[in-house]
Amino acid sequence: MPIRLQSPHRQAGLSLLEVLIATVVLSAGLLGLAGLQIAGMKTTHNSYQMQQATWIVYDLLERMRANKQAAENDAYAVDSSSVDYCGANATPPTAMAAYDIYQIMCGSGNGSGINTVLMGGRLQVSCPTGSCRDGLQINLQWDERNATRQGTDFDGGTDGVETFNISLNATL
């Protein structure tokens, strides 16, 4: 049996081209994972804001039900787009309805109010029939950053900010 010697031209290891292709494929995969991570974080934050907005609306409704007499007398009618409840000179009011609205707008120091939790939060409480005894409407709007679309946003703008809304019709 003859002994065969290995040819000196036989390749052992990887070529530079194979390493380059593997690096490009790995880089593309890692960029895709980073994009998924960012999208997941944005979705999680938007869900958190929706949850906070829902809790705030129901907290206000429960406060109104606890102070039913004042709620029926329109003491909770508010439009936060025209009044700054949490300005530098704002102090907690002593009337229960005004204090409840202050708490909902400004929170209790632990980051629970509309102005601290929701970006651009606006609250409106109104009595559509003229009397809150027949029902009331709570409307909470806030903005969320949405950079997933190029050009125009879902709301038609180009600023990368979307406006969300929770509207609740309720009776006391």
For the stretch 111-121, pLDDT in tens is 678 888 888 88
Q: Sorting pLDDT into bands at 50, 70 and 90, what band is 156?
A: low
Note whether residue 149 is domain-resident: yes
Percent of the chain with pLDDT strictly greater than 90: 21
Q: Give the angle subtended at the CA of 120 by the CAs of 74 and 122, to the nearest 5°.
A: 10
In whole angstroms, what is the distance from residue 64 CA to residue 101 CA? 10
Note whether residue 11 is domain-resident: no
pLDDT tens sequence across 79-102: 877 777 777 666 677 788 888 888
Q: Helical H runs in the chain? A: 16-66, 68-72, 96-106, 114-117
Strand, coil or helix: what is 144? Answer: strand
Note whether residue 10 is domain-resident: no
Q: Is the pLDDT of residue 47 over 60?
A: yes
In whole angstroms, what is the distance from residue 104 CA to residue 78 CA? 11
Q: Sorting pLDDT into bands at 50, 70 and 90, what band is 140?
A: very high
Domain count, the chain: 1
Note whether residue 50 is domain-resident: yes
Lowest mean pLDDT among 62-71, 151-160, 162-171: 151-160
Choose among 144, 139, 142, 140: nearest CA to 169: 139
Note whether residue 76 is domain-resident: yes
Note whether residue 9 is domain-resident: no
Note whether residue 34 is domain-resident: yes
CA-based max dimension of the chain: 110
Q: Sorting pLDDT into bands at 50, 70 and 90, what band is 71?
A: confident
Which residues, 6+ apart, have CB-to-CB distance to 167 below 8 Å?
A: 137, 138, 139, 140
User: pTM to 2 decimals?
Assistant: 0.72
Which class for 94: exposed (0-12), middle (13-18), buried (19 or more C-beta within 10 A)? exposed
Note whether residue 3 is domain-resident: no
